[in-house]
Amino acid sequence: MFRISLLEGLLIVWAVVTGIMLALMISRSIMGTNEDDQLYLSQADKMLEQEHQEGVKRDRNFVPYLYALGTASGVLLLSIFCLWIWQGLLRT
């Protein structure tokens, strides 16, 4: 049977959470490359304005997920560091 220590398990979970966060950040930056917060168009370009607003709204939908994943990644990293220090102190 394959056994994983607590430290290795936390490192795997941290890598997965951080990988998902980075993937969301990359996809957000790719989708938001052509999007600005404000766009000034003439009355004839209402369709472009609507598409722009949809893009900005979609971009803002990523923010809560990025905050949650960033917080989880930070907490996991701090937990890994504390566990690593604790295991080192027990061995000495």
Q: What is the pLDDT of residues 44-79, one digit of tens each?
A: 677 777 776 777 777 778 889 999 999 999 999 999
35 has pLDDT over 70: no
Higher pLDDT, 3 or 38: 3
pTM of the model: 0.75
Residue 87, pLDDT score: 92
CA count, 13 A, side-chain hemisphere, 44: 0
Q: What does the block give as tokens for 70?
A: 């960033």
Spatial CA neighbour of 22 closest among 76, 64, 56, 70: 70
pLDDT digits (tens, 9 = 90+) for 3-32: 999 999 999 999 999 999 999 999 888 876
